[in-house]
Amino acid sequence: MYSVKLLLLVLPSIFLNSSSAAKLGVVQTEGGKVEGKSHRMGLFQTVEVFKGIPFADIPGKWEKPKPHPGWSGTLKATKYRDRCLQVTLLQKETHGSEDCLYLNIFIPHGRSVSSNLPVMIYLFGGAFLLGASNDVAYLGDSLYDGKEMADRGEVIVITVNYRVGTLGFLSTGDARLPGNYGLWDQHAAISWVHRNIKAFGGNPDNITIFGQSAGAASVSYQMLSPYSKGLFRRGISQCGVALSPWALQRNPMALTKKIARKVGCKTTNEDAMVECLKMSDPIGLTKAVPVCLPVSPPGPVLDLLELSPVVDGDFIPDEPSKLFHHAAQFDYLAGVNSMDGHLFAGVDVPSINKKQVNTTVEEVRSLLAGLTKEKGSAGVASAYSTYSSHWGSLPQQEVIKKTVADIETDFLFLVPTQIALQLHAANSSGARTFSYLYNMKTRIPGFPGWVEAEHAEELQYLFGHPFSMSIGYFPRHRDLSGYMIAYWTNFARTGDPNTGNNRVPASWPAFTKHHHPYLTINHKISKSSVSFDLRSEYVNYWTGTYSSLPSVTAHTSP
């Protein structure tokens, strides 16, 4: 009797162990041994997760990342490590640590241990100010949990940390504080993956980097840097490129002086100021960031997104638009969400989200004036006539409000992405280019009916949340999630989103020098989801008419 009970207790565990046996267990990396944890997905499928593997040592303040000294014994890689030191969402406090250069690996296995898998490295977004590889945990897993994507796409997914905010991007625009420390961290992480991923069953010659918002602009920067040659093969930019107006700081010294004053460093002698900054408390420096998003700022919110990469003459040797020959070797897939700018538009022109309040023509003009400062009154006049040309004589409020969101979407995201795609396609010799527009209707409650796809909304589908969390999602959300995972992971596997292990609902034609097709991504994808020349009227306006207007000498505030 007793032994039968014992047998019944033991049997299932024998069965479970034998059927979920495919795992790497302890893996030898250049720094030492690591051991992760297996998660069962389907009957014969597991995803082995390694969390918190260091890819560099604790970085010195405003120094490039250094190799990790290594460890003895086996590192239990089962917990996410701290995010890099940053302000909290409301920007009153800080959280995270300077000891933050870690990455996380998600490896799918079937009946046997995987080998030679394509690898996808994710760079998180957050305006170069916020964010982490394991950001926004709700109901358990983080938004960027790679298990579903790894399992459904049969790829290794890796999420990495990089320094953000003052510690990641402060620069004097010269050798004293060259800037771009966060980009160097990303580069160190990609290099670590290139050197070590074979031991985890990955193919070091099949690495794709992908990212969203500031992470998407980071992907673009990594592709444009001469340091990336041969390190990875493809890139995906979701809502951001190096050409986005918020992605490059052209006057870093002015910003550094502002921050120096905030932490009590004198700015009259620049060398002394730099010495003082170097001795300042990292928490104080992190808090000195001049942003106040929830409160309506005096100019467009764009003006506050200031801590970004710089042309340092090294990692980024020149203006991003002049570096596309470096990117010619990589396959590139890029796109935007139809209302990427809505979030920013709602801060700049709050009336667009209020049913009872009308948005006035003056508000539209003053938003345009803020965005087109460098071209003076001629800029506002031509931009206004372009954006109001379809209004008719008595425009409905909804039309005006949607125009405000379109203006910010075009200016901050869509037009720069189209320019990057065109430069990439024109320079490419054999590498492929793909363009998309994501327009799934928003799930965020309380927004007006005209709002389509908000900034960052595609991430929950790409990371397979409708599969891992059934609450709040419907079959159409799982359809969309399956489509995105298929296109993205096929692209990582073959350089073509149509070809790979996963079937796709429609063929997505490549973007070339002369033809500019794009796929519209939502829960109903069919042949008719392919269109051409995304918002070309507006792309042509900003790249043609607007850019040829003479610049008035900009009066930049100190």
DSSP notation for 293-333: TTSPPSS-GGGG--------SSSS-S-GGG-HHHHTTSEEE
Task: With both helix axes pointing from N to C terminus, report the angle between 361-371 and 376-388 in degrees, rounded to the nearest 10.
Answer: 130
Type and span of the H or E element at 477: helix 475-494
Q: In the chain, what is the greatest distance between 2 CA atoms, to the nearest angstrom?
A: 93
CB of 500 to ligand NAG, least distance (A): 8
Q: Nearest Cα to 454, choosing from 247, 239, 291?
A: 239
- Give the integer Cα–Cα distance in Å for 384 and 386: 5
Least separation in angstroms between CB 461 and ligand NAG? 24
C-beta closer to ligand NAG: residue 237 or 338: 237
Least Cβ distance, residue 200 to ligand NAG (angstroms): 15
Identity of residue 334:
A
> Nearest 5°: phi and psi at 538?
-80, -35
| Contact status, residue 96 vs residue 84, Cβ threshold 8 Å | yes
Contacts of residue 251, Cβ cutoff 8 Å, sequence gap at least 6: 173, 556
- Of 355, 451, 465, 372, nearest in space to 411 by CA: 372
Nearer to ligand NAG, 260 or 486 (CB): 486
In the bound state with ligand NAG, the residue whose beta carbon lies nearer, of 230 and 294, is 230
Measured from the CB atom, the residue of 146 and 182 that comes closer to ligand NAG is: 146
Find the catalytic residue in 145, 312, 340, 410: 340
Mark whether 213 is an active-site residue.
Answer: yes
- Residues 435 and 508: their CA atoms lie apart, in Å, by 9
> Which CB, 117 or 301, lies closer to ligand NAG?
117
Catalytic pick among 133, 213, 308, 338: 213
Q: Is residue 109 classed as helix, strand or coil in its secondary structure?
A: strand
**Which residue number places its CB atom closest to ligand NAG?**
426
Question: Looking at beta carbons only, is 132 or 243 nearer to ligand NAG?
Answer: 243
In the bound complex, what is the minimum distance in angstroms from residue 469's beta carbon to ligand NAG?
Answer: 30
How many residues are given for the chain? 558
Integer-rounded Cα Rg, in Å, for the chain is 24
Q: Minimal distance in Å, beta carbon 235 to ligand NAG? A: 15
Q: Specify the residue, 116 or 536, whose C-beta has the smaller distance to ligand NAG.
A: 116
Q: How far is the CB of 217 from ligand NAG (least distance, A)?
A: 17
Which of 436, 370, 419, 365 shows the shortest CA–CA distance to 547? 419
The neighbouring-strand residues paired with 517 are: 532
Nearer to ligand NAG, 385 or 396 (CB): 396
Give the nearer residue to ligand NAG in terms of CB position, either 397 or 543.
397
In this structure, is the dihedral angle defined by the CA atoms of residues 285, 288, 290 and 292, taken in order, positive or negative? positive
What's the min distance (Å) between Cβ of 368 and ligand NAG?
20
Q: Tokens at residue 215, please?
A: 């992470």
Q: Among the options 194, 455, 465, 477, which is catalytic? A: 455
C-alpha dihedral sign at 347, 353, 355, 360: positive
Beta bridge partner(s), residue 454: 339
Q: Mark whether 455 is an active-site residue.
A: yes
Catalog residues that contact ligand NAG under the rule CB under 6 A.
Answer: 116, 118, 203, 205-206, 322-325, 358, 396-397, 423, 426-427, 493
SS3 content of the chain, % helix, strand, coil (to 5): 40, 15, 45
Smallest distance, ligand NAG to C-beta of residue 293, A: 28
Q: How far is Cα 268 from Cα 178, in angstroms, rounded to an integer? A: 20
Residue closer to ligand NAG by CB (options 91, 208) is 208
Burial 476-487 (b: 16+ CB within 10 A, else e): ebbbbbbbbbbb
DSSP per-residue codes, 359-374: PPHHHHHHHHHHHTGG
Q: Measured from the CB of residue 358, what is the shortest distance to ligand NAG in angstroms? A: 4
User: Quick one: 429 exposed, middle or buried, by C-beta within 10 A (0-12, 13-18, 19+)?
Assistant: exposed
Residue positions annotated with a catalytic role: 213, 340, 455
